[in-house]
Chains A and B, each alone.
Chain A
Amino acid sequence: MSQTMRTFGLFAFVALLIVGTGFVQSWNSALLILNMGLVSAVMALGVNLQWGFAGLFNVGVMGFVALGGLAAVIISMPPVREAWAVGGLGVMAALALGVATIALAVWLTRAMPKGRMRAVVMLAVLVVGFVAYRALFDPATDAIQKVNPALTGYLGGLGLPIVLAWPVGGLLAAGAAWVIGKTALGLRSDYLAIATLGIAEIIIAVLKNEDWLARGVKNVIGLPRPVPFEIDLQQDPGFIDRATGLGFDVTTASTLYVKLLYGAMFAAVLIVVLVLAQLALHSPWGRMMRAIRDNEVAARAMGKDVTRRHLQIFVLGSAVCGMAGAMMTTLDGQLTPASYQPLRYTFLIWVMVIVGGSGNNFGAVLGGFLIWFLWVQVEPIGAAVMDLVTAGMADGSALKTHLQNSVAQMRLLTMGVILLVVLRFAPRGLLPER
């Protein structure tokens, strides 16, 4: 079977799974899976860019996804004028001072000769900078957080359309990736892994604790939407006419319509990213990337700046993840920093890329849909299996209750087994790189 046939067949199979969900469960759940599948596919493309093209081991996907979510809040929420009045200037000044301190320290490292003198001056600059920063920062954030803490207590956003947050989320993630790449790339691959793992945890810690930025664990809810609200559609006579004309119940029709709109927007983004990734893969640049991945020494000998190229693709891939994160937050309509878990937002994306086929863009997209489908459906399937297993046991026995309550944990186990089986028997994934 040729690769094209195989690609086509596997995509048809996944489409069948999702359509099957529509018939067996409900069309709403099928569309939910489809929408998150689209977002997951974009994330998987981002990781594939880094791992599949360049062999960079980034386990900080969660952090970049969360930065995208932050962008959604910053762009779309209305600004809280009172908070800006009491502390906006202070926070901005403090942040500027922080950046200036670090810039000065970096400049000193370059400008001064190595030795004890440099260490002392550096330390002095950093300590003075930190104290001054805290002196400006703390009162400003306190003031901001006191502004109507039940509803706002943060600076708010820019009040722009939320779709703008998608590219901005990409930019934010790219900025973070540049900083981390500058320090960790060029070292061993394990070090990049640990460094990205760390930066992701730090980004989540910042989102959880800096209430002035996006309310921390109090969450920002009710983000503006790029699509109409269901409730408005249900009262729109034109929509009611069309829905009943097609033989739908108005409530169902409105939920489906909204999800379809989201789906169309996400699909557009996915297609653009996929086309660009495909073009990149088959361009001289893509061939160079893969050549660097396969033999760094030879690439160096040919005069390629390996570290620079790695930084380039690391930033690009992270930007794609950040964009997907902004899309996801748009779909959820809220930013809940406590819900970001590395197993779900970093390692699951990795499972998608590996199972789909690293180095193959279609493979990553396929993995995104397939693994997301399984992630959602393992729970009901597991519950059914567990009912069967425990059918013979006495009702109310401790083991039976325990087993039935543990079904929710089946997901991780299943994902691990799938990853291990694929790595063992099809190490190049379902759609291998050509």
Chain B
Amino acid sequence: MELLNAFVVLANFVLIPAIAYGSQLALGALGVTLIYGILRFSNFAHGDTMAFGTMVTILFTWLLQSWGVSLGPLPTALLALPFGILGCMALVLLTDRAVYRFYRAQKVKPVMLVIVSMGVMFVYNGLVRFIIGVDDQRFADGERFIISVRTFKAMTGLDEGLAIRTTQGLTVATAVVTVAVLFWFLNRTRTGKSMRAYSDNEDLALLSGISPERVVMITWLIVAALATIAGTLYGLDKTFKPFTYFQLLLPIFASAIVGGLGSPLGAIAGGFVIAFSEVGITYAWKKVAGYLMPEGLEPDGLLQLLGTDYKFAVSFVILVIVLLVRPTGLFKGKSV
């Protein structure tokens, strides 16, 4: 019983939140890693791309809600998501046309593109703040829980409850579907294969007749979709606030680098490594230990390694360790 209770506490406060957060990070990191693989620069505007896509989704959610459309137990945002993705795609394609293409034609150094993406970041950030404001926006509706603490306790008769929020279940389900579709696309379709070829060796890909502009356009489309999905899931799970999305840049980059920049599989692994360490290190383990330790030996303190405000420090430390020990990441990424 004690062991089961300990496991339920662990699942409730660490495993489930970390899996949901890890899925969101993985989707974000996939976007970063794809841009790195194909366009060969670190996109600083990625957090704000996510914010923009989420903002469009939120606006459409409100529109649908005002029409009285809903998905019953599921959040309305799911219906609005395709519109958000389309909006985000339009934005990134426009940006590529107006900004990035010029530098691509000149074959500038990657660091120049990073600086350009800094300018894009400012513009996106300003746009989002201009349109929707800087405040928190909650847009989740529908059923709040798949399993609530009360029903779980009634079902199992344990002392500890387990709650799975709809948004958490939805996050994991959507992430699995998205990643499956993405990998099917990259590994099985002609376009996907041409993208991987372009990422591996640009010159050989050009020689075999792959159109670079088309590859780049498709990459941006996929990245826009991934960013919007990741952003919307994060916003549903927590709340939407433009500044938070900007701050997500650090864990997302950490995930992509830990996994190996340019490697999609690595991005997913990295996302979960970062999420589990962040949640695990900032969680107060007192309750779990209370169940596991023998009678009389329960700890007095909170058993919290670091305060929750230091979660950035966690992703950072993992990043540094990986950089020192294995600079190409867990899965061999590029090292340009």
Contact = CB atoms under 8 A, between A and B. Distances in A.
A406 B320 CA distance: 39
A98 to B, nearest CB: 13
Interface residues of B, number: 50
A187 B324 CA distance: 9
Contact of B127 (A188, A191, A413): A413
A272 B301 CA distance: 52
B119 interface: yes
B286 to A, nearest CB: 14
B123 interface: yes
B142 interface: no
Interface stretch (A8-16, A194-202, A229-237, A299-307): A194-202
Contact of B313 (A187, A195, A205, A405): A205
A347 B115 CA distance: 10
Contacts of A417: 119, 123
A97 to B, nearest CB: 17
Contacts of A423: 112, 115-116, 119
B248 to A, nearest CB: 11
A55 B309 CA distance: 33
Interface in A170-220: 183-184, 187-191, 193-195, 197-199, 201-202, 205, 208-209
A191 B323 contact: yes
A187 B336 CA distance: 10
Nearest to A184: B323
B173 interface: no
A406 B116 CA distance: 25
Contacts of B323: 183-184, 187, 191, 195
Nearest to A348: B122
A272 to B, nearest CB: 29
A188 to B, nearest CB: 7
B246 interface: yes
Contacts of A190: 41-42, 110-111, 114, 261
Given A194-B254, A198-B254, A202-B316, A413 B126 contact: yes
A414 B130 CA distance: 12
Contact of A416 (B122, B254, B320): B122
B290 interface: no
Contacts of B319: 194-195, 198
Given A183-B323, A187-B323, A413 B119 contact: no
B167 interface: no
Contacts of A420: 99, 116, 119-120, 123
A198 B102 contact: no
Contacts of A409: 126, 129-130, 133-134
A410 B336 contact: no
B316 A198 contact: yes
A234 to B, nearest CB: 38
Nearest to A358: B115
A343 B309 contact: no
Interface string B291-316: 00000000000000101011011011
A416 B126 contact: yes
A427 B250 CA distance: 28
Interface string B58-100: 0000000000000000000000000000000000000000010
Contact of A197 (B99, B111, B249): B249
B244 interface: no
Interface in A398-434: 405-406, 409-417, 419-420, 423-424, 427
Interface string B11-53: 0000000000000000000000000000001101000000000
B118 interface: yes
B257 interface: yes
B125 interface: yes
B253 interface: yes
A304 to B, nearest CB: 20
B32 to A, nearest CB: 10
B195 interface: no
B336 A188 contact: yes
Nearest to A56: B111
B335 interface: yes
B106 to A, nearest CB: 9
A268 to B, nearest CB: 32
B121 interface: yes
B327 interface: yes
Nearest to A183: B320
B115 A414 contact: no
Contacts of A191: 257, 323, 327
A418 to B, nearest CB: 8
B253 A347 contact: no
B320 A195 contact: yes
B127 A193 contact: no
Given A191-B257, A205-B309, A409-B130, A343 B125 contact: yes
Contacts of A187: 323, 327
B211 interface: no
Contacts of B134: 409
Contacts of B309: 205, 208-209
B102 A201 contact: no
A240 B299 CA distance: 67
Contact of B125 (A209, A405, A412): A412
B130 A416 contact: no
B134 to A, nearest CB: 7
Q: Specify which of A57, A190, A193, A415 lies most central, judged by the most chain B CB atoms within 10 Å of its CB.
A: A190
B247 interface: yes
B332 to A, nearest CB: 15
A286 interface: no
Given A188-B336, A406-B130, A57 B120 contact: no
Interface in A17-68: 55, 57, 59
A183 B125 CA distance: 31
A136 interface: no
Contacts of B123: 412-413, 416-417, 420
A143 interface: no
B136 to A, nearest CB: 16
A79 interface: no
Nearest to A354: B115
A377 B26 CA distance: 41
Contacts of A412: 122-123, 125-126, 129
9 contacts: A183-B323, A191-B327, A201-B247, A209-B310, A350-B118, A405-B133, A409-B130, A413-B130, A417-B123
Given A343-B125, A409-B130, 12 more contacts: A130-B305, A183-B320, A183-B324, A191-B257, A194-B253, A202-B312, A209-B307, A350-B115, A409-B134, A412-B129, A413-B130, A419-B119
Interface of A: 55, 57, 59, 130, 183-184, 187-191, 193-195, 197-199, 201-202, 205, 208-209, 341-343, 347, 350-351, 354, 405-406, 409-417, 419-420, 423-424, 427
Closest 9 CB pairs of A and B: A416-B122, A413-B126, A416-B123, A412-B126, A198-B316, A419-B119, A409-B129, A420-B119, A201-B312
